[in-house]
Amino acid sequence: MASGLGKPKRKRHGLALIVALAAAAWAVGFVIFAETIPETTPPATAKTDVIVVLTGGSLRLEAGLALLEQGAAKKLFVSGVHRGVDVEELLRLQKRSPDRLQCCIVLGHDAADTIGNAEETAAWLKQQNVKSIRLVTAGYHMPRSMLEFRSAMPDLIILPHPVSPDHVKHEIWYRYPGTALLIAGEYTKFLLAWARHAAQSLISDIV
């Protein structure tokens, strides 16, 4: 009897150990992720064919427009723009003159998430003779963005250009619960995206 009763207990202990190890692995990975958020930006002289800005955070569009004005690329593609917003309205909101830049900006209105950003950008780039892009998004969002963009456009040269919003204190994230939660959520999304791509690659190899 004692032996039979001990089996469920051992199973519970084994499950608890697996959960504890998974939590520890997640925590270690999270710290590494938080401490290695990219913040170095290449100079505008490192030119690409197109600048791609992913909407969803402050400074991204501002940085993209500044790079376009500095001649870092000849075109700017903005992915994930709200429907109803055109280039003229976007420039007005950014306090830029439409006369100078309107001809060089293309807006994408279909993307609702990072996967959609990559798909929307890839679809537009198919119509262009483009070999390289500069990808502008928040530093904490860059790892997942690069993962999705490299998967959607494996032959494209992608130059990451991270921006650091003032409200995201990623250098001292451990002092700011809001920043820590933001980065933790992004790290979890990155892991899920990585797992999805790994599974897709494995399935394609088997098939």
Query: Each residue of 104-152: pLDDT tens digit?
Result: 999 999 999 999 999 999 999 999 989 999 999 999 999 999 999 999 9
Q: Is the pTM of this model over 0.95?
A: no
Give Cα 101 distance to the centre of its chain. Answer: 25
Euclidean distance between CA atoms 203 and 121, whole angstroms: 25
Q: Tell me the sheet residues that pair with 138.
A: 163
Instruction: Please say whether the beta carbons of 44 and 154 come within 8 A.
Output: no
Residue ranges per structural domain of the chain? 50-163
To which residue do tokens 């060089």 refer?
104
Confidence tier at 77 by pLDDT (50, 70, 90):
very high
> What's the pLDDT at 94?
87
Joined together, the tokens standing for residue 72 give 């870092």
Joined together, the tokens standing for residue 103 give 């001809």
Q: Which CATH architecture has domain 50-163?
A: 3-Layer(aba) Sandwich (3.40)
> What's the pLDDT at 184?
98
What is the per-residue pLDDT across 148-190, written as a single tens digit (0 to 9) for each? Answer: 999 999 999 999 999 998 889 989 999 999 999 999 999 999 9
